């Protein structure tokens, strides 16, 4: 642990069966106007909507609705939400849904009292928030993004073919989040598995960076082992509460800033995946899984010691020649990914080779990884991501 840092994560979490009762503790802290934000309506089919509404009414709230948040929320939808929040004079934004809905709520929360162009300010210039922030609370119904306990917000600009995430400071973190694993039980298996890989990618993107000795990497290995163990159970029996609850908790700690403390990080898998997401309507976690193996095989030679450590500590590969050990670890990871049913080829996600130029163009290049990519390398990784045949 060499780097200096600050750590502050004030989000209060209510976790477990019946955790929605936590709303009775939280709602009295805010004024009466609540903007209820949700997605395509699955919460109306699985009963979560009714339960949330009953708690809001019991706490004397006036509810204003803002439904229809799409899986990759657009900047135009955010602007619509801002108008609704203003009209409602919202004292609290309550996001009920998955990471997209939480991300969207945060983007609205920092824009209600902001007079500037919010796309330019937050997602192009990455400016800090300089205006009042409307408080956000979350009720999670999908697991993966970690948005329930961080300042992240990923917003898409379809006109510019850009999908960009901004990480806001602790003043934008949700004030509280309700995490009931049973609220995720009705999710289709494809979405569950996609979320599992999103979690894994979050951990790996913070792990595969730097060469110093850091407690954060040991915590990351623990989270990875728990995730792999519980994913194997959940994919066989999606209603296994214990496994689903472990996955839910792992997701939160995979991306709430903890495992990045004191170290560098490498977010290139997300940059590649988000470029795919900007050109298709593919599920986020699947865009990450489809590009991961080509990316990791490409950077392995530049970080072979860390990949060898990963192979031993996470996948149980016996110690040996570092490169052989490292490659054996990736092979075990790939076999596990295929067993889970993750997308391993961009073709599955509706991407075509005609989109290749655009995807390369949309990919933001970040440093922090074992190799800073050139545009030609990004193209090669995408090409290899098309070349994979599903086992």
Region from 62-70, 236-244, 333-341, 349-357 binding a copy of itself, contact rule CB under 8 A:
236-244
Residue 14 binds a copy of itself, judged by CB under 8 A: yes
The DSSP code sequence of 160-206 is: TTEEEEEE--TTTS-SEEEE-GGGGTTS-HHHHHHHHHHHHHHHHHH
**Of residues 209 and 245, the one with the C-beta less far from a copy of itself:** 245
Rounded CA Rg of the chain: 20
Region from 90-98, 200-208, 224-232, 372-380 binding a copy of itself, contact rule CB under 8 A:
224-232
Residue 249 binds a copy of itself, judged by CB under 8 A: yes
At CA 327, angle to CA 373 and CA 315, rounded to 5? 115
Q: Which of 351, 385, 381 is nearest to 369 (CA)?
A: 381
Question: Site residues for a copy of itself, window 183-212 (CB under 8 A)?
Answer: 212
Among 30, 38, 253, 382, binds a copy of itself (CB under 8 A): 253
Residue 169 binds a copy of itself, judged by CB under 8 A: no
Region from 1-9, 30-38, 87-95, 278-286 binding a copy of itself, contact rule CB under 8 A:
1-9
Among 7, 29, 159, 365, binds a copy of itself (CB under 8 A): 7
Q: Which two tokens stand for residue 28?
A: 């009295």
CB of 385 to a copy of itself, least distance (A): 30
Residue 9 binds a copy of itself, judged by CB under 8 A: yes
Residue 219 binds a copy of itself, judged by CB under 8 A: yes
Q: Which two tokens stand for residue 259?
A: 């495992």
- In the shown chain, the binding pattern of residues 260 to 299 toward a copy of itself, with x for contact by CB under 8 A and - for none, equals -xx-------------------------------------
Give the whole-angstrom CA distance, residue 325 versus residue 327.
6
**DSSP letter assigned to residue 66:** E
Beta bridge partners, 167, equal: 152
Q: Which two tokens stand for residue 355?
A: 């989109």
Torsional sign, CA 240, 246, 251, 252: positive
Residue 387 binds a copy of itself, judged by CB under 8 A: no
CB of 209 to a copy of itself, least distance (A): 16
Residue 334 binds a copy of itself, judged by CB under 8 A: no
**Residue 350 near residue 282 (C-beta atoms within 8 A):** yes
**Of residues 12 and 371, the one with the C-beta less far from a copy of itself:** 12
Torsional sign, CA 201, 202, 205, 207: negative
C-alpha distances (whole Å) from 196 to each of 16, 209, 256, 302, 337 are 19, 21, 16, 27, 10
**Of residues 100 and 206, the one with the C-beta less far from a copy of itself:** 206
Residue 225 binds a copy of itself, judged by CB under 8 A: yes
CB of 309 to a copy of itself, least distance (A): 11
At CA 251, angle to CA 263 and CA 198, rounded to 5? 85
CB of 166 to a copy of itself, least distance (A): 21
* Interface residues toward a copy of itself, by CB under 8 A: 1-19, 22, 212-216, 218-223, 225-226, 229-230, 241-243, 245-246, 248-250, 253, 261-262
């Amino acid at each position: 642990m060499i780097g200096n840092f600050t750590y502050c994560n004030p989000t209060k979490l209510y976790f477990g069966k019946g955790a929605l009762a936590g709303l009775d503790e939280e709602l009295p802290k805010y004024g009466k106007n609540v903007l209820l934000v949700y997605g395509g309506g699955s919460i109306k089919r699985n009963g979560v909507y009714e339960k949330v509404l009953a708690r809001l009414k019991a706490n004397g709230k006036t509810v204003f609705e803002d439904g229809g948040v799409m899986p990759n929320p657009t900047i135009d939808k955010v602007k619509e939400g801002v108008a609704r929040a203003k009209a409602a004079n919202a004292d609290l934004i309550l996001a009920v849904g998955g990471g997209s809905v939480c991300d969207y709520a945060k983007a609205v929360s920092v824009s209600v009292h902001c007079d500037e162009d919010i796309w330019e300010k937050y997602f192009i210039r990455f400016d800090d928030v300089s205006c009042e922030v409307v408080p956000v609370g979350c009720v999670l119904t999908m697991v993966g993004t970690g948005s329930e306990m961080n300042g992240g917000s990923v917003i898409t600009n379809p006109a510019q073919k850009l999908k960009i995430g901004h990480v806001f400071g602790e003043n934008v973190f949700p004030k509280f989040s309700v995490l009931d694993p049973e609220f995720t039980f009705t999710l289709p298996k494809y979405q569950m598995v996609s979320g599992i890989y999103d979690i894994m990618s979050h951990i790996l993107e913070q792990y595969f960076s730097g060469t110093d000795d850091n407690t954060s990497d040991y915590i990351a290995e623990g989270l990875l082992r728990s995730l792999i163990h519980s994913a194997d159970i959940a994919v066989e029996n999606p209603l296994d509460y214990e496994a689903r609850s472990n996955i839910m908790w792992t997701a939160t700690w995979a991306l709430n800033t903890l495992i990045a403390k004191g170290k560098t990080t490498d977010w290139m898998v997300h940059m590649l995946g988000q470029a795919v997401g900007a050109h298709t309507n593919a599920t986020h976690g699947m865009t990450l899984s489809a590009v991961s193996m080509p990316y990791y095989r490409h950077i392995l030679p530049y970080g072979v010691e860390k990949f060898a450590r990963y192979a031993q500590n996470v996948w149980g590969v016996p110690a040996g020649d570092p490169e052989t050990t490292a490659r054996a670890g990736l092979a075990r990871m790939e076999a596990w990914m295929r067993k889970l049913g993750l997308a391993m080829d961009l073709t599955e996600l509706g991407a075509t080779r005609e989109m290749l130029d655009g995807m390369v163009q949309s990919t933001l290049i970040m440093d922090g990884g074992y190799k800073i990519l050139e545009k030609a390398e990004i193209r090669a990784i995408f090409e290899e991501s098309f070349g994979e045949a599903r086992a």
